Amino acid sequence: MVRYVSGRLLAMALTLFIIVTISFAMLRLMPGNIFENPDIPQVVREALNAKYHLDKPIMVQYGYFLRGVLADGDWGTSIVLQPTKPVFDILWQRIPVSMHLNIVSLLISLPLGMLFGILAALGRNRAPDHAISFAVVMCISIPSFVFAAVMQYFLCFRLGWFPIIYRANQVGWEYLRQIVMPVLALSFGPIAATTRFLRGELIETLSSEFMMLARTKGLTHFHATVRHALRNSLVPMVNSIVGMFVGVLTGSLVIERIFAIPGVGGIMLQAINALDHPVTIAALIFYSLVSLLSILIVDLLYGVVDPRIRMGSRR
Amino acid sequence: MVGRELISLDYAKVALESEAVLEVKNLSLSFRTHGGIVQAVRHISFDLQKGETLAIVGESGSGKSVTTKAIMGILPGNASIDTGEILYGGLNLVQLKEAEYHKIRGKRIGLIFQDPLSALNPLMRIGDQITEVLYLALKMPSRQAKERALELMTAVGIPDAEQRFYQYPFQFSGGMRQRIVIAIAIASDPEILICDEPTTALDVTVQARILELINNIKRERNLSVIFITHDLGVVANMADRVAVMYAGKIVEIGTSEDIFLTPEHPYTWALLGSIPDLDSPKERLLSIPGTPPNMIYPPVGDAFALRNPYAMKIDAVAEPPMFQVSPTHYAATWRLHPKAPPTQMPEVLQARISRMKAGA
């Protein structure tokens, strides 16, 4: 187990390194440089380029960047958005906001999606299933930012039920009220994905032989469904959590922007547009790290829920 | 041909001296499919006597498995029972509601599946799969349920039951899994055991042991067994009586001796003629030409007529009733009609039967 996890961590580090390398190269190859401003005198521009090592070849720049991060924990400073402020501090303030939003959204999506999936599977090919499946198709095909914009207009602007934009430093009731809209907008997709996935899995296990055996051995329909069908169809769900978590994260890139939420997603978009590369790359690393970690956690969870995987190596 | 006489479709009960534990009367059931309505079982009647093994044989699609599913009340959603009744202990199972049926399933009638590899829940410990019915349905305290499960596991021949109790199905071989399925089927002491091709998915050496196990359990617990198979070799070892099904009907029913030594229906001849055996001189096995009829449009008359070299004109016009051959033996073929021209079974089969008689 320890060997497995350390092997996985090593592979993760390698993956992360590759991601960082590629994104660093891509960012530096993007056209444009904030110091290419005719208003800045030549001398100042050269001094700035020298300060941020922009006058060196890209390999050397990458070397400086890696040494800063690995040796000194120095992620560089923001150049445009909040000049001279360390990137690490900028992100550190924003990560809790984003993570909070994402986790709340997942905590809502999973049970709701499971509930709808079970209802659809049990009422297969009847009215509830058709209604749920229709809603699922809608929610999967309409992007979250459309929901966000529509809800923001009707529920926040026209009806005034919720605040239109997010305000920092709110607590208690006011805080809950302002995250309702973004969380909902983030949740439609995952709810729909969970519903669809669980419906398919459950229908398959419901018609499985062991389900038949459970019934012929004399269990009631309810017991057989809960103990055999439901339990077994939840196992592959574990795997889809990764996809959902990453999906929610990327969804929040846009949603945070719509509701002016001071999270990682919002700052990353701003940084890309403003060519504030140190911030962009730090945000990218954050997203990659979260994705990789969630994949690892889910793989470990898989072993916990499925004995065939847990004991596979010992056999 | 002795005792030849025409009797009604709802033919008389087998005149054995025991009582019937299960009676199927005039059962018909059909499936709604995209292609149309498939008449899977058409007006079949049989009974199961206390302590006997009744084998139902027939090729794929003849309706044998569906019949057992109807008895267990586990027909798929697109199936419907059109006529007939299934009588068990004064109840007509056809009319039983789902809420009541689980009192019959497992507790009164147990079922052994064809494929033990997929019949066990892969994520549940073997022990839990045996005990869950004991404590969920029979409200047995869990310690007692475990003891009973261990007894059952030992009874079906699983060594180290105590240790195996906590293992998962993937740690068991096919034969061992089938033993577990058998243990589950007999866990709540049913009176009737239905075996739906229990050895088809197993390899030959394991087959023999599982059959022996089923026979032992049947004797020890005085079970009545319905044994579904398409393997006549298995039937010969297991069955007291045999029902031959073709195209959703029982075409011949009788004791094992009746069916193996004096078969009357040309379809039974064809089935028996197609068994390979070691003693046969260089003879070709008989095969049955053609394919079974499409049961969305069941043929008029005798369903087997098109594949039957002995078919007569009337076979294409009217369905043959059950003729009584002896008090225990019935067959649905116009051959047995008093006015039918005499026909002889194929020589290959005749030769084989005389060898069997000589050997026996």
Residue A81 lies in a domain: no
Q: Where are the alpha helices (DSSP H) in B120-189?
A: 126-136, 142-155, 161-164, 174-185
pLDDT in tens, A229-242: 888 888 888 878 87
**Domain boundary pick from A72, A88, A105:** A72
* DSSP type of residue B85: E
Lookup: tokens for A212: 């038949």
Q: Which of B103, B106, B118 faces A210 most closely, judged by CB atoms?
A: B118
CB–CB of B245/B56 below 8 Å? yes
Q: Distance of CA B193 to CAs A78, B104, B217, Å?
A: 77, 12, 10
Q: Which of A209, A216, A232 faces B106 most closely, judged by CB atoms?
A: A216
Q: What angle do CA B208, B210, B216 make, to 5 degrees?
A: 105
Tally of CB atoms within 10 A around B279: 10
* One domain, residues A118 and A259: yes
* One domain, residues A29 and A122: no
* One domain, residues A179 and A274: yes
Residues 6+ apart with CB under 8 A from A86: A74, A75, A76, A77, A78
Q: What angle do CA A23, A29, A32 make, to 5 degrees?
A: 120
Given this model, what pLDDT does residue B7 score?
41
- Which residue of B121, B191, B196 is the best one to mutate when testing the A interface, meaning the one whose CB has the most A CBs within 10 A? B121
CA atoms within 13 A on the CB side of A255: 28
Residue A121 lies in a domain: yes
Pairing of strands B241-246, B249-255: antiparallel
Given this model, what pLDDT does residue B9 score?
36
Given this model, what pLDDT does residue B2 score?
39
Given this model, what pLDDT does residue A151 score?
86
* One domain, residues A109 and A67: no
Q: Give A-chain residues touching B191 at CB under 8 angstroms.
A: none
Residue B356 and residue B212: Cα distance in Å, rounded? 22
- Binned at pLDDT 50, 70 and 90, residue A219 comes out as confident
> Which residues of A have a CB under 8 Å from any CB of B?
208-210, 212-221, 223, 227-228, 231-232, 235, 305-308, 311, 315
Q: Give B-chain residues touching A235 at CB under 8 angstroms.
A: 123
Backbone torsions φ then ψ of B87, nearest 5 degrees = -100, 125
Residues B202-210: contacts with CB under 8 Å, at least 24 apart? B202/B116, B202/B174, B202/B175, B202/B178, B203/B174, B206/B174, B206/B175, B206/B178, B207/B234, B209/B157, B209/B175, B210/B175, B210/B178, B210/B179, B210/B182
* One domain, residues A130 and A257: yes
| Angstroms from B339 CA to nearest CA on chain A | 48
Closest CA to A185 of A221, A208, A154: A154
Q: What angle do CA A67, A71, A98 make, to 5 degrees?
A: 90
Is B171 part of the contact surface with chain A (CB cutoff 8 Å)?
yes
* DSSP type of residue B12: P
Lookup: tokens for B274: 């197609």
Residue of B nearest to A206 (CA): B76
| Angstroms from B106 CA to nearest CA on chain A | 4
Residues 6+ apart with CB under 8 A from A163: A156, A174, A177, A178
Residue A89 lies in a domain: no
Pairing of strands B241-246, B53-57: parallel
Mean pLDDT of the region B218-234 = 90
Residue of A nearest to B183 (CA): A217
ipTM of the complex: 0.78
A69 three-class SS: helix
Widest pairwise Cα distance in chain A: 87
Computed over every residue of chain A, the mean pLDDT equals 85
Compute the count of residue pairs across chains A and B with CB atoms less than 8 Å apart: 86
Q: Distance of CA B169 to CAs A212, B147, B165, Å?
A: 16, 20, 10
Residue A154 lies in a domain: yes
**Domain boundary pick from A38, A72, A106:** A72
Is B106 part of the contact surface with chain A (CB cutoff 8 Å)?
yes
Percent of chain A clearing pLDDT 70 (strictly above): 99
Mean pLDDT of the region A204-217 = 88
Contact A217 B98 (CB under 8 A): no
Query: Which uninterrupted H or E stretch holds B107?
Result: none
Residue A271 lies in a domain: yes
Residue B82 and residue B30: Cα distance in Å, rounded? 7
Q: Give A-chain residues touching B181 at CB under 8 angstroms.
A: 213
Is B296 part of the contact surface with chain A (CB cutoff 8 Å)?
no
* DSSP type of residue B309: T
CB–CB of A81/A279 below 8 Å? yes
What CATH number is associated with residue A258?
A: 1.10.3720.10
pLDDT in tens, B43-86: 999 999 999 999 999 888 888 989 999 999 988 888 999 999 99
Q: Give A-chain residues touching B188 at CB under 8 angstroms.
A: 217-218
- pLDDT over 50 at A315, yes or no: no
Given this model, what pLDDT does residue A273 score?
85
Q: What angle do CA A49, A55, A58 make, to 5 degrees?
A: 120
CB–CB of B131/B149 below 8 Å? yes
Residue B196 and residue B248: Cα distance in Å, rounded? 16
Residues 6+ apart with CB under 8 A from B313: none
Residue B211 and residue B204: Cα distance in Å, rounded? 11
* One domain, residues A180 and A52: no
- pLDDT over 50 at B6, yes or no: no
CA atoms within 13 A on the CB side of A16: 21
- pLDDT over 70 at B211, yes or no: yes
pLDDT in tens, A68-111: 888 887 888 888 788 888 888 888 888 888 888 888 998 999 99
Closest CA to B225 of B247, B194, B258: B194
- Binned at pLDDT 50, 70 and 90, residue B252 comes out as very high
Q: Which of A218, A232, A311 faces B188 most closely, judged by CB atoms?
A: A218
- pTM equals 0.78
Given this model, what pLDDT does residue B280 score?
64
* One domain, residues A121 and A262: yes
Is B72 part of the contact surface with chain A (CB cutoff 8 Å)?
yes
CB–CB of B269/B351 below 8 Å? no
pLDDT in tens, B265-313: 999 998 888 877 776 666 677 788 888 888 888 888 888 888 888 888 8
* One domain, residues A289 and A223: yes
Residues 6+ apart with CB under 8 A from A150: none
Residue A285 and residue A22: Cα distance in Å, rounded? 11
Q: What angle do CA B113, B118, B121 make, to 5 degrees?
A: 105
Please give the residue range of the domain that contains residue A25. 2-72
Q: Which of B115, B133, B185 faces A209 most closely, judged by CB atoms?
A: B115
Contact B136 A311 (CB under 8 A): no
Q: What angle do CA A135, A138, A144 make, to 5 degrees?
A: 115
What is the CA B13 to chain-centroid distance, rounded?
A: 18
- Which residue of A125, A126, A207, A217 is the best one to mutate when testing the B interface, meaning the one whose CB has the most B CBs within 10 A? A217
- Which residue of B74, B112, B132, B179 is the best one to mutate when testing the A interface, meaning the one whose CB has the most A CBs within 10 A? B132
Tally of CB atoms within 10 A around A57: 9
Residue A230 lies in a domain: yes
What is the CA A135 to chain-centroid distance, rounded?
A: 23
B46 three-class SS: strand
**Domain boundary pick from A39, A72, A105:** A72
Mean pLDDT of the region B118-122 = 90
Contact B171 A227 (CB under 8 A): no
* One domain, residues A281 and A162: yes
- Which residue of A213, A227, A306 is the best one to mutate when testing the B interface, meaning the one whose CB has the most B CBs within 10 A? A213
Mean pLDDT of the region A168-187 = 82
Residues 6+ apart with CB under 8 A from B147: none
* One domain, residues A237 and A130: yes
pLDDT in tens, A117-139: 999 998 888 898 999 999 999 98
- pLDDT over 70 at A62, yes or no: yes
* One domain, residues A307 and A207: yes
* One domain, residues A153 and A196: yes
Q: Give A-chain residues touching B168 at CB under 8 angstroms.
A: 307-308, 311
Residue B124 and residue A186: Cα distance in Å, rounded? 35
Contact B171 A315 (CB under 8 A): yes
pLDDT in tens, B163-181: 999 999 999 998 899 999 9
- Domain total for chain A? 2
Beta bridge partners of B213: none
B159 three-class SS: coil
Residue A83 lies in a domain: no
Q: Distance of CA B162 to CAs A311, B19, B144, B313, Å?
A: 19, 39, 14, 65
Residue A222 lies in a domain: yes
Q: Which of B136, B168, B188 faces A307 most closely, judged by CB atoms?
A: B168
A3 three-class SS: helix
Given this model, what pLDDT does residue B1 score?
37
- For chain A, helix (H) and strand (E) counts, in that order, are 13, 0
Contact B105 A216 (CB under 8 A): yes
Beta bridge partners of B22: B48, B88
